[in-house]
Structure 1
């Protein structure tokens, strides 16, 4: 999510004082061709927002040297590496500005996309600042979008990737559940936390179906994040971070290296 999109989010969260807000691949991996290149696409979960160590030349895209694409490249040294993921990206942004590095020599593509299309920032703002019923209503609106519109958006992105990089192994990574349930946790109600987790599952199911239908691999990070959700006492996700609001509800460096990286490595 871009910094500009968080202006209203900051204001709303500051009003909610006192709140402490507090997944392995589904297919067997195959080795990346030694001569092939790697292209990392997607949104803030792929650019590494929340993990720090941002590359200055990436500007508002906030690409991090601790993000899973950067770590995978360092460990495997593919013949080329293009780190195109950008904070705030939606499916249309991927189509418009992230696919230029793909070619017939691309051997591996990774991507997280769909969360911003489904209105992640607004869902969290609503659930933090409003009643249980209003939160649930906003989540239901997001689910309706996931049912009606997101599949077509994902199809357009996935078809474009295949068209530009027909030989690539494409790994579509999902999103974690945010909260550990059944624990004492100051902040959002149990009802809200359960509904947010359910929404994450709903989004992952839709993304996985479209990915598999295109012959791609789905990298499910939920099991890898198990025990490290918000309210777990060992979170790999940021809760509310007033010092850098953009990092809120994004993986920490440990979340990138402990979950996203091994899931990609198993699937690549």
Structure 2
């Protein structure tokens, strides 16, 4: 009889130690791994079109998909060097310095400005059908011949600076619906060939991302039905010079963010 309280105490101690050890060893009960996230890229990463913007000169918005994802996932650290107007050379010269061996996640949109996004849109919105066609064809040729090597170099630099990170490359949406939308709108033909150019860019970017061992997040399906000329557009038309033909806040939240969530879980 005198030994029973001691035995019960020892049994309780063993149970406590076993439970504590199990919490360490059983998957899913250990402390979550650190997520050190760096968002690189151009205006489609920085959040142009969503506003308001910081004072960096890069038109960074907290309504872009990157800060939205970081806030929703409680990341350990978040760096946001993405900059409106960036080309691949800008990523290499001004953005990859934010990466390190401790970086665990990198996202990027890049390549549209290399392919002459502004010139193509300007030619099609304000120029003739022939000037639009020529600009689109020039951009498509660039995308299939010159851009792949630039993307390869960019992804390789990211891998070199952040060898332990997962790299997610996000694509660009088709900008337009092709239904009738008023006499002030671009013609259906212009909108159609611009969407075809977006498909070429997506195909090239997806292929180079895959070759680099990165994950490609295609945004075209998530924006479907919400381009310029839609009843509920998530792409700005020409209401603002800087923001024209970029996603609005809904576009980043309901177009880009779900595409990113789909590949991150």
Q: Normalising by structure 1, what TM-score?
A: 0.84
- Other-structure match for 1:43: 42
Instruction: Give the deviation of 1:232 after TM superposition.
Output: 0.9
Tell me by how many angstroms 1:182 deviates.
3.0
- Higher RCO structure (Cα 8 Å, ≥6 apart): 1
Q: Structure 1: 5+ residue runs without aligned partners?
A: 1-32
Aligned length: 232
Distance (Å, rounded) in 2 between the aligned partners of 1:227 and 1:99: 35
Q: Does 1:112 align with 2:109?
A: yes
Correspondence for 1:162: 159
Displacement of 1:266: 1.9
The ranges of structure 1 where at least 4 consecutive aligned residues each deviate by more than 2 angstroms after the TM superposition are 182-186
| 1:248 partnered with 2:234 | no
Contact 1:36 1:105 in 2 (8 A): no
Matches within 5 A, 1:203-222: 203-222=201-220
For the 8 Å contact 2:170–2:217, the answer to whether it is kept is yes
**Structure 2 segments unaligned to the other structure (5+ residues):** 1-31
- Say which of 106, 120, 124 aligns to 2:121: 124
Distance in 2 (alpha carbons) for counterparts of 1:168 and 1:80: 13
RMSD of equivalent CA atoms: 1.1
Which protein has the larger Cα radius of gyration, Structure 1 or Structure 2? 2
Question: CA–CA distance in 1 between the matches of 2:52 and 2:123?
Answer: 30
Q: Is the CA contact (8 Å cut-off) linking 1:39 and 1:106 kept in structure 2?
A: yes
CA contact (8 A) 1:34 1:78 kept: no
Question: Could you tell me which residue of structure 2 aligns to residue 141 of structure 1?
Answer: 138
Contact 2:103 2:165 in 1 (8 A): yes
Q: Does 1:262 align with 2:258?
A: yes
CA displacement at 1:36 relative to structure 2: 2.8
